[in-house]
Amino acid sequence: MSSLTCAKLILFSIAGVVIQIIGLSLFVYGFFPVKPALSGISGTESFRVPRCNSVHNESEGDLPPDQLKALYEELSGIHPFDRLILMVIDGLPAEFVLGKDHQPPPKALMEAMPYTQSLLANGVAIGYHAKAAPPTVTMPRLKAMVSGAIGGFLDVAFNFNTQALLDDNLLGQFFSVGWKMVMLGDETWLKLFPGLFMRHDGVSSFFVKDTVQVDHNVSRHLGDELSRDDWHLLILHYLGLDHVGHIGGRNSILMAPKLLEMDEVVKMIHTSIIANQDNGQGRTLLVVVSDHGMTDNGNHGGSSYDETDSLALFIGLKNHGSEHASYTVNTVYQVDIAPTLALIFGVPIPKNNVGVLILGTFDSFTDEQHLKALELNSWQLFRLLQAQLPGLSCENSPCESFIDDQGPRKSKCNGNLENMICCLYLNATVLHSSWKSKNVSRNLLTYLLLELQQCCCHA
């Protein structure tokens, strides 16, 4: 009897250990997934059709910044803006500005941001709920916005000991075309991009009791910076609102005054942009974003709606359609900000970006520019997919089966993932070339846009 119990005990112990190992493996695989990523930095090849036998022209990488900038402008054909102001309001839920479920925000919040609300109502600003991926803490979220790639949960640990960002990203792309950059606010930026800013004044994000000085330290330089014309990118990272949340939660009595303070900053920047437009400073785009939202208690880090509901507000892009009226639910992903800004400013989309162009931001561009932007986005995503899906690699690509003697043909898409991607991608290519030779009637443009967007989304 006792030997039977002993044998059973050993069996149970072994089973227990096996279950633990399986559990641990599942946990590790889920939280720290290993994704094949492309190494290196996007260059001129990103403006060309992805081909298996393409020859990489090394000499283009050595061009001086101004020549590289001119080359990118020529290749992309999109260059409406000269300067970018990226204002990050840490922890601001998009709901505070854009409302929820087709309803405007509560009256108190509307009245706390009168200028921003007037920009939205007049179509001067286009606002989006930019869904952030967990973990909803600052460092990984900033990385997602500038690289378009989604990190893992390991970033939570790195959030406290930020290392320089070596992956391809927007700031690196801007630097390579000779942009001068200034950063004021959260010092996380300085840790991610050491040596990149020509002027900076960083503040620490860990003194959460301070809701006043932390923002005053940013705003005190603002008047001076706005009057200068020696920078191309100005980053302002305001931490005060996140600190208000940590102290008193979403409904803190300090929230409305803080929103009003942020609204004043938006007003100051926007009026200065309008005033300086004809002074030789060129066209400036203001983008107001938040890195993450917050729970009722003002916490963040997890994946709830309240924590992932971050903001992307584009001020200065003319908005034509009524579909972008203030309180409709325009939801995009936070990673979509990276390709959108890369395309607006005509630099290559970062290599490992998984984001898709935010279509509404291109409303005021020509149809050709709109399609060109989508084409560049789909080329970049196709290259990334070739690295991530072995079935799409050059050796086993199923795409050839959709091409006959006359070139790619339009077909009905079905089958496995690789077939679907090839089919959608080539359909878009066929329609795009017909559009360029004007064989497609103008009302087919919408269909073409959908097809391209679908191709990007499937990717």
Q: Minimum distance between the CB of residue 103 and Zn ion, rounded to whole angstroms?
A: 26
Q: What does the alpha-carbon distance between residue 436 and residue 366 come to, in Å, rounded to a whole number?
A: 13
Q: Minimum distance between the CB of residue 314 and Zn ion, rounded to whole angstroms?
A: 24
Tell me how many helices (H) and strands (E) the chain has: 18, 10
Q: Minimum distance between the CB of residue 448 and Zn ion, rounded to whole angstroms?
A: 43
Q: Which CB atom, from 258 or from 372, has the smaller least distance to Zn ion?
A: 258
Q: Minimum distance between the CB of residue 246 and Zn ion, rounded to whole angstroms?
A: 6
Q: Which CB atom, from 92 or from 449, has the smaller least distance to Zn ion?
A: 92
Q: Which CB atom, from 138 or from 361, has the smaller least distance to Zn ion?
A: 138
Q: Which residue has the CB atom at the shortest distance from Zn ion?
A: 242
Element of type H or E holding 89: strand 83-89
Q: What does the alpha-carbon distance between residue 270 and residue 116 come to, in Å, rounded to a whole number?
A: 10
DSSP reduced 3-state for 288: strand
DSSP reduced 3-state for 172: helix
Q: What does the alpha-carbon distance between residue 80 and residue 271 come to, in Å, rounded to a whole number?
A: 19
Q: Which CB atom, from 169 or from 188, has the smaller least distance to Zn ion?
A: 188
* Amino acid (one-letter) located at 302: G
Q: Which CB atom, from 292 or from 370, has the smaller least distance to Zn ion?
A: 292
Q: Minimum distance between the CB of residue 398 and Zn ion, rounded to whole angstroms?
A: 46
CA 380 to chain CA centroid, nearest Å: 15
CA distances from 228 to 66, 194, 264, 277, 335 (A): 21, 23, 20, 13, 30
Going by C-alpha positions, the residue among 30, 33, 11, 10 that lies closest to residue 22 is 30
Q: Minimum distance between the CB of residue 264 and Zn ion, rounded to whole angstroms?
A: 22
Q: Which CB atom, from 137 or from 183, has the smaller least distance to Zn ion?
A: 137
Q: Which CB atom, from 242 or from 261, has the smaller least distance to Zn ion?
A: 242
Q: Which CB atom, from 137 or from 349, has the smaller least distance to Zn ion?
A: 137
Tell me which long-range contacts 112-115 makes (C-beta under 8 A, separation of at least 24).
Answer: 112/255, 112/256, 112/257, 112/259, 112/260, 112/263, 113/259, 113/260, 113/262, 113/263, 113/266, 114/263, 115/263, 115/264, 115/266, 115/267, 115/270
Q: Minimum distance between the CB of residue 375 and Zn ion, rounded to whole angstroms?
A: 39
Q: Which CB atom, from 232 or from 243, has the smaller least distance to Zn ion?
A: 243
Q: Which CB atom, from 45 or from 242, has the smaller least distance to Zn ion?
A: 242
**Beta strand spans in 92-203 (E):** 125-131, 181-186, 199-203
Q: What does the alpha-carbon distance between residue 185 and residue 87 come to, in Å, rounded to a whole number?
A: 10
Q: Minimum distance between the CB of residue 359 and Zn ion, rounded to whole angstroms?
A: 31
What is the binding site for Zn ion (CB under 5 A)?
242
Q: Minimum distance between the CB of residue 243 and Zn ion, rounded to whole angstroms?
A: 7
CA distances from 242 to 134, 239, 253, 297, 426 (A): 17, 6, 14, 11, 45
Cis peptide before 93 (omega within 30 of 0): no
Q: Which CB atom, from 90 or from 451, has the smaller least distance to Zn ion?
A: 90
| Terminal alpha carbon distance of the chain | 61
Q: What does the alpha-carbon distance between residue 78 and residue 96 come to, in Å, rounded to a whole number?
A: 33
**Token reading at 339:** 């390709």
Going by C-alpha positions, the residue among 145, 172, 155 that lies closest to residue 86 is 145
Q: Minimum distance between the CB of residue 242 and Zn ion, rounded to whole angstroms?
A: 4
Element of type H or E holding 86: strand 83-89
